[in-house]
Amino acid sequence: MKRILLAFLLTLSFYSGFATHTKGGWMYYEYLGPGIQDPSKLRYRVGLNFYMDCFSGTIENTFFFTIYSGASPYVLEDDVAAPLITSNDIQNCNSPLCYPCITNIPQNCYKVIKYETIIELTPSARGYVISKQRCCRINGISNMQAPSNAIGATYTITIPGVNQFLPNSHINSSPKFAFNDTTIVCASNIFSIDFSATDTDADSLSYSFCDSYSGGLQTDPIPLPAAPPPYNFIPYAAPFSGSQPLGPGVTIDPVTGFVSGVAPPSGEYVITICVNEYRNGVRFAQTRKELHLKVTPCNPVVATMDPTFLTCGDLTLSFFNQSDGPAIQNWKWIFGDPTTGVNDTSLLQFPTHTFSAAGVYTVKLIVNDGLPCIDSTEQQVSVFPGFFSGFESAAPFCTGVPIRFSDTTRTNFGTVSYWHWNFGDNTTLADTSRLQNPSYSYSSPGSYTVQLISGNSLGCRDTSEHIITILSSPILNLLSQDTTYCRLDSLQLTATGTGNFTWTPGTNILNANTATP
């Protein structure tokens, strides 16, 4: 009993040594032909390129792959041993000689361990699902809900069934990814990473982001057998998702597999790339690659301007480089406004330029001009001064009485074409309008802030606000309880409320401007 307990404790200790170093991975298979031990079967080489932290000291000599039938109810077929084939560290060069145009160069390093075996499968129209589950990830992953170190991963791939989607769909080898995983990604800067794969069968490939799978537990980091499909998605932290793992500013090219855009803030992010295989126009297979991508606070030499430069107030605009960093030593601005003479250029870091007239100008920024690390960009700037948002409202301002609001927006260029009103009535969600001249009734007295956002056909937008005070409508008691009145009788009229009173017609009415004539 003591020996069993000791072995169990050693196993737990062994698992805990690598339980939080999972960094990603992708499975693959290769069709080798008929079986050797049994020629009626199908022979495949299957493997997993498993990513770990480079500083992981414990590496398993064998992985076990779980094989399920390829469709529900996913019958367990086998668990097969896959020995370690290779273990390599892939890392970027972090010397300034390699990246002279980046400061604060990070060191990205992954230990990529290949586990591989050969299996023979009985031909099946349902195909087979091969999976490996492993826990756990590191803590503090930026696009996952906390605690991320309690969530594991599932690496899986499906071998198509015999003639399942098209003739000979089972005679196929999955695409294989290149190892471009140490590309430097600087926070809040433009980047691009090649996630393309190659296919030996010359099938067409289409790329997309997809949800990462969870799998394994802290109490069971290496489940055997692995759980059957379907697999659960990891819990993403808003605003991230499987289709936007790096936020809305990063996309993947479905044709090339290049992931590019403006990087999110510094951190570690889980992304999964799905590659769909098409043959004769029919989608019949998919390969998944998961990676923990590091985004670091490095500073590249990049010239970047605001993509929506627009001025509607006057002819003057201020400029700045959106990607400034310590490696940028000079700035040269060319405003595309030659009629301003020497003022058409500036060597300031934060220049201001007054354009000679309204119009669209092409502004160019050059950083590190004359130096080895030079970059430039051009951006169109729209200059359309003279846009004035405004509105008027007409009395009476009483509860239950529709108030007419009139747009008075003026524009010197283009036409006024956009209106969004908010009448400031917090008792309802229906206090907005897209009409140019709407009406609105308030049910309760009080002060309300009315807001109009108006715009023109050239993209100008501005906001105007007025505070209006709504009074209670007066309550009128015109006649007493008596129902019989004789000529020349006196009638007491009564109105309650605050404000000015006017009774009409004024014939024979005494004190016609009071509440009780």
Task: Give the per-residue SS3 of 392-459.
Answer: EECCCCECCCCEEEEECCEECCCCEEEEEEECCCCCCCCCEECCCCCEECCCCCEEEEEEEEEEECCC
SS3 call for 342: helix
When pLDDT is averaged across residues 246-271 and rounded to a whole number, the result is 95
What mean pLDDT, rounded, does the chain reach? Answer: 88
Can you give the C-alpha Rg of the chain in angstroms?
36
- The pLDDT assigned to 309 comes to 78
What is 261-301 written as a DSSP string?
Answer: EE--SSEEEEEEEEEEEEETTEEEEEEEEEEEEEEB--EE-
Whose tokens are 């090339």? That residue is 256
- The pLDDT assigned to 12 comes to 40
Percentage of the residues of the chain whose pLDDT score is greater than 90? 65
Angstrom CA distances, 94 to 98, 99, 189, 278, stand at 7, 7, 18, 39
- The pLDDT assigned to 154 comes to 97
**Residues 6 or more apart from 194 whose CB is under 8 A from it?**
178, 180, 183, 256, 257, 258
pTM of the complete model beyond 0.85: no
When pLDDT is averaged across residues 325-329 and rounded to a whole number, the result is 80
- The pLDDT assigned to 481 comes to 57
Between CA 515 and CA 517 the distance in angstroms is 6
Instruction: Give the confidence band of 357 by pLDDT, cuts at 50, 70, 90.
Output: very high
DSSP state of 49: E
The answer to whether the CB of 471 falls within 8 A of the CB of 499 is yes
Q: Which of 34-43, 211-220, 369-378, 499-508 has the lowest mean pLDDT?
A: 499-508
When pLDDT is averaged across residues 317-332 and rounded to a whole number, the result is 83
Domains of the chain: 15-295 (no CATH), 301-383 (2.60.40.10), 387-470 (2.60.40.10), 474-517 (no CATH)
| pLDDT above 90 for 25 | yes
Angstrom CA distances, 96 to 104, 105, 165, 376, stand at 9, 8, 51, 21
Instruction: Give the confidence band of 322 by pLDDT, cuts at 50, 70, 90.
Output: confident
- The pLDDT assigned to 416 comes to 95
Between CA 197 and CA 292 the distance in angstroms is 18
Residues 184-213: pLDDT tens digits?
899 988 889 999 999 999 999 999 999 999
Whose tokens are 């209006």? That residue is 468
- The pLDDT assigned to 485 comes to 63
Between CA 169 and CA 399 the distance in angstroms is 73
When pLDDT is averaged across residues 335-347 and rounded to a whole number, the result is 95
Between CA 157 and CA 18 the distance in angstroms is 24
Phi and psi at 150, nearest 5°, equal: -100, 0
Between CA 202 and CA 117 the distance in angstroms is 24
The answer to whether the CB of 360 falls within 8 A of the CB of 381 is yes
Structure tokens at 202: 């010359």
Percentage of the residues of the chain whose pLDDT score is greater than 70? 92
